[in-house]
Structure 1
Amino acid sequence: MADDVNVRADEKLDDDEPVRLQPDLPPEIASPLAPFKGAEPQSPPWFKAAIAREPERSLVPVDGANIELLTWGDVGKPGLILVHGNSAHADWWSFIAPFLADDWRVAALSLSGMGGSDWRETYSFESFATEIWECAKAAGLYAAPVKPIYVGHSFGGSQVFYSACNHPDRMRACLMLDTGFGRPPTPEQIEKMRARAIAEGRPEEARRIGGPPSRTQPNRVYATLEEALTRFRFMPPQVPGNLYVADFIARRSLKRAPMPDGSGEGWTWKFDPFMWGKLNRDEMDRATPADAPPLAHIYGENSSVMKRNWNGEDYSSPIPASAPQVAIPDSEHHIMVDQPLALVAALRTILATWPG
């Protein structure tokens, strides 16, 4: 599945172990919020109005961990549950969900190890599926006449796809956003893909091939919020389409933490840095769509994830050719950052006519 989302950048690889730093990245990619020096960028009226529709926030206990849940709209309306990408959190949906809440009961959760949810000793696709299901029930999504639709972005798309294949009775349909498919590449495949990218004049892409690395150190604690915000970046690397969205997401990706030297409190990232290494990815072998409910896909037209082909010439998508598939123009992987209103329009259109 695709690797994803917000992580830190730092000059010292041994100091802040981010995700495959590329030292020659331009500053607008490596540190897009640095020019604001901790201040919030200007945002348009639509965005201010959307985030003003604050969700109800709660914690749902699931197998020994408290899972963060956000909800909008009235119980009894058809349900949507929204699942974020790797290292992200429920608030990635806080400026999207309000546009859907007049017609839907909308829920968004932070998977364990991310956002305001507890961390676990180990993670699995099955445990994530249980968290999504329990949060959907706690949000009242099954009080509607029809079952909810599961929606997931990137890594979250792989989670809702897994649920669709293994627990189709829990949902009416499954909608994925910029979700890549395929097992992790072998070392030989990685070298082949890197060589191809270099030969085709794509050295930046060649350096990104290989997926999320294993982490060996905890998240760094920054002395100030400004310093932490300057370390925020996206993975895969890209210029954020809207910096006010990036800033909103970044601020909600941070929490207070003691400084290692005992000098007081600083700021650190909410996600479990060891999550990827503690996740059993072999469970995706059980995800075959033969009995899955209807599937659909929305993706960024310029997404590096969708262009990347983990399995060389053998790659094939499990999404049927007849399924709705919508490309969002002028968008990379993080569609809600690049083209949030276009994403809202695409979601509204698909959900108004599909799955029927």
Structure 2
Amino acid sequence: MADEAGGAPKAADKETYDDRPFHSDGLPPEVRAPLEAFKGAEPPSPAWFRDAIAQEPERGFVESLGSKLEVLTWGERGKPGLLFVHGNSAHADWWSFIAPFFAADYRVASMSLAGMGASDWRERYAFRDFAEDAEAVARAAGLYEGGVKPVYIGHSFGGGQVFFAAARNPENMRAAILVDTGFGGPPPEVEAERKKRMEQIRNIPTADRPSRVYPTLEAALARFRLMPPQPAGNPYIADFIARRSLKRAPLPDGSGEGWTWRFDPTMWEKLDRTGMTPQLGAAIATPMVHIYGAQSRIIERRKSGEPSFFPKGMLEIEIPDSQHHIMIDQPLALVAAIRAILATWPPTTPSA
């Protein structure tokens, strides 16, 4: 989950969206603004990363429920399918340095959920719609053409969507791999700060009051941060993600163009939560595995007594020295874990 945010508004800016990050007071610079020190320059990156992103995906759109959804694909049609789904406020390119590792053996797709990335924004969002979107993308991308149903892989909020889709429509997927996924909403202190801000301000972004526009790319990158709060384990990955989180937009004073975030900032206010929480202990027919970070906030909350909706006895794999954003903290360990899972599991079922 990413939370791209800006500085505090001045008193005269009452009609400007307050895009301060949640729970930002007192955070160290490497958490509050992990890219600020690079002053707009790309951090040094290793050869494996450069080789991975050099494998450019095919970029396109799939229509679902009247919306155009951004889709990236790698690998040949006719091979088994993998669908990657990102976290909240993120986008398909969060998987662009992970997906190429699977392209030799799989037809791989990464989607931007509605309201995020380059996908269309909607007047309302719902878990059942996200589930329908995922199937539409998987079918249009050819993920069912390999003789078996695809495996869905989702991180954080995207893992929640994969879980919901697996529970609602188990016939659509062979298995689900959840990556650091929880069901309790934002961390308690983040939710408390969100509610406090909602009581204090009424200028939530609309078509007339969009998200803040930054005058330079450097200024925008300096405001990128992760949610839940954590350092960017590998700054070159955070920088890659942040640059693809932005789009050009007119500056408020009409002096030219600047940069703003691509996601719909009002998604949480538009989200229909009806039926989004699974029943505790409910039987799930879809085979599932959960990969989590050893220092993840989600795991901390579970250990403190927050209920888990995962099926009893579900296999869970811990990634050492990683927090919530495993693809940033330990990308190669995540690749290895997914590869090992796919090599030995799940059972094969014909595609529909």
TM-score (ref. length: structure 2): 0.89
1:243 is aligned to 2:235: yes
8 Å CA contact 2:5, 2:223 repeated in 1: yes
Correspondence for 1:301: 294
Supply the distance in 1 between the matched residues of 2:224 and 2:344 (Cα, whole angstroms). 38
Aligned pair in 2 of structure 1 residues 210, 179: CA closer, same or farther (>3 Å)?
farther
Aligned pair in 2 of structure 1 residues 68, 32: CA closer, same or farther (>3 Å)?
same
C-alpha deviations, 1:131-178, integer Å up to 9, x for none? 111000011011111100111000000000000000011000111000
Correspondence for 2:314: 323
1:8 is aligned to 2:5: yes
Aligned pair in 2 of structure 1 residues 11, 78: CA closer, same or farther (>3 Å)?
same
How far 1:287 moved relative to its partner? 6.1
8 Å CA contact 1:9, 1:21 repeated in 2: no
AA aligned to 2:275 is E
SS of the aligned residue for 1:29 comes to helix
How far 1:130 moved relative to its partner? 1.1
Supply the distance in 2 between the matched residues of 1:252 and 1:155 (Cα, whole angstroms). 19
How far 1:320 moved relative to its partner? 3.1
Correspondence for 2:189: 207
Supply the distance in 2 between the matched residues of 1:240 and 1:107 (Cα, whole angstroms). 25
How far 1:286 moved relative to its partner? 5.4
8 Å CA contact 1:68, 1:115 repeated in 2: yes
SS of the aligned residue for 2:63 comes to strand
8 Å CA contact 1:175, 1:296 repeated in 2: yes
AA aligned to 2:144 is Y
155, 158, 168: which is aligned to 2:157? 155
Alignment map for 1:157-306 (pairs within 5 Å): 157-182=159-184, 207-208=189-190, 210=192, 216-217=204-205, 218-285=210-277, 289-306=282-299
Supply the distance in 2 between the matched residues of 1:31 and 1:286 (Cα, whole angstroms). 35
TM-score (ref. length: structure 1): 0.88
Supply the distance in 1 between the matched residues of 2:88 and 2:318 (Cα, whole angstroms). 21
Alignment map for 1:47-126 (pairs within 5 Å): 47-126=49-128
AA aligned to 1:178 is D
Which stretch shows the higher mean deviation, 281-290 or 81-90?
A: 281-290
8 Å CA contact 2:154, 2:161 repeated in 1: yes
Supply the distance in 2 between the matched residues of 1:17 and 1:291 (Cα, whole angstroms). 39
Aligned length: 331
Correspondence for 1:188: none
Structure showing the higher helix proportion among its residues: 1
Gaps of at least 5 residues in structure 1 are: 186-204
Supply the distance in 2 between the matched residues of 1:31 and 1:156 (Cα, whole angstroms). 24
Supply the distance in 1 between the matched residues of 2:227 and 2:56 (Cα, whole angstroms). 27
